Amino acid sequence: MLWKVVIEGLICSFQFLSTVPLKKQVPYEQKQVRVCVAAFPVVGAILGVLLFGLLFIMNEWTNVSPLVIALLLVTLSIVYSGGLHLDGWMDCSDAFFSYKSKQGKLEVMKDSRIGAFAAISLFLLLVWKIIIIYEVIMILDVKDYLIVVLIPIFTRVILGMKLYYGVTARQEGMAFGMQVFIQKKDSFSYFLMMLTLFLINVLFFQHLFVYVVILFFSSVCFYFISAKIDEHFFGGITGDTLGASVEGGELWLWMTLYLLLCFVTG
């Protein structure tokens, strides 16, 4: 039945992208995988709500410093994803700075060992993310906290769009294994989700309209830029490049929000 496939696909999406303890075994078949990829933004939305809740509670009901709150938000994101995306970020960093051919870079990404470039890039990613989030918390009004929900949603949309329209770098691995089951027309579900978000924004949260529009177009820019990087340096997408795009996309959007607060709405 349709509802059973939807539930199984949703469970598969959470099992794949999060550490939410859903132990139910679901069939890994075309219908379930199509729903799984379509539900990526839902997984992001749950993380966004958790981030919003933690930010609001800590900032409004406790005396915890903004720096500690920023660290808690980053930690929550890592725990929620199980470090899956960070692993992709580190593997891509080692491959990117190896200066090898595309095939050589793919071999580097398959190596389970962590190189110096992976450690350095991980350090810089986390430090910059904590600093930017700290700055956002210092500037952002309490009534605008809800905007942070969109950041993990948009990054999961980018992740799904790469699966729908990207060319896989090799005929194996996670990205290839999922792409064979999905269809480009399924990406229409993302259009409906984005349209729903904009309608909710217009009807109930007009004060966030500028944030929503700019974050959306910033996400589109990041999608095309990162897709070009995937193609040029790695020959296409892999599971690691998809994970790296989530981590890089989150930093990109937090930076967008920070610059927006500093130079536009501030």
Which pLDDT score, from 0 to 100, does residue 248 have? 96
Which pLDDT score, from 0 to 100, does residue 89 have? 94
Q: Which of 238, 118, 247, 248 has its CA nearest to residue 175?
A: 238
Which pLDDT score, from 0 to 100, does residue 265 have? 64
At 204-222, the pLDDT tens digits run 889 899 999 999 999 999 9
- Give yes or no for residue 223 having a pLDDT over 80: yes
Q: Two tokens at 156?
A: 């999961």
Provide mean pLDDT across the span 179-192.
92
R_g over Cα of the chain: 18
| Strand, coil or helix: 39 | coil
Provide mean pLDDT across the span 85-89.
92
CB atoms within 10 A of CB 207: 13
At 130-148, the pLDDT tens digits run 999 999 999 999 999 999 9
Find out whether 170 and 106 touch, Cβ atoms under 8 Å.
Answer: yes
| Strand, coil or helix: 168 | strand
Find out whether 95 and 115 touch, Cβ atoms under 8 Å.
Answer: no
How high is the mean pLDDT of the chain? 92
Beta bridge partners of 168: 237
Note if the pTM is more than 0.75: yes
Find out whether 247 and 86 touch, Cβ atoms under 8 Å.
Answer: yes
Percent of the chain with pLDDT over 90: 71
- Give yes or no for residue 264 having a pLDDT over 90: no
Residue type, 49: V
- Give yes or no for residue 266 having a pLDDT over 60: no
Find out whether 37 and 182 touch, Cβ atoms under 8 Å.
Answer: yes
Distance (Å) of CA 258 to CA 44, 56, 206, 209, 263: 20, 18, 20, 16, 9
